[in-house]
């Protein structure tokens, strides 16, 4: 492998990494936010020593 090909492959590797970091996200996660608590509270009080 010549020196030019080595530099080209390193540059391509770094350019693809920078593209993935700075490109818009393609996550398909739902926008949830904070969720209210729907359970029942614990009825016993903790003992204080």
Q: What angle do CA 3, 16, 25 make, to 5 degrees?
A: 175
pLDDT at 48: 67
pLDDT at 49: 59
Cα distance between residue 1 and residue 36, in whole Å: 60
Over the stretch 1-49, which tens digit does the pLDDT of each residue have?
A: 799 999 999 999 999 999 988 888 777 766 777 767 777 777 777 666 5
């Amino acid at each position: 492998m010549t020196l030019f090909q080595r530099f080209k492959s390193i540059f391509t590797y770094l350019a693809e990494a920078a593209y993935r970091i700075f490109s818009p996200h393609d996550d398909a996660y739902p926008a949830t936010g904070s969720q209210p608590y729907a359970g029942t509270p614990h009825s016993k009080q903790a003992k204080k020593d």
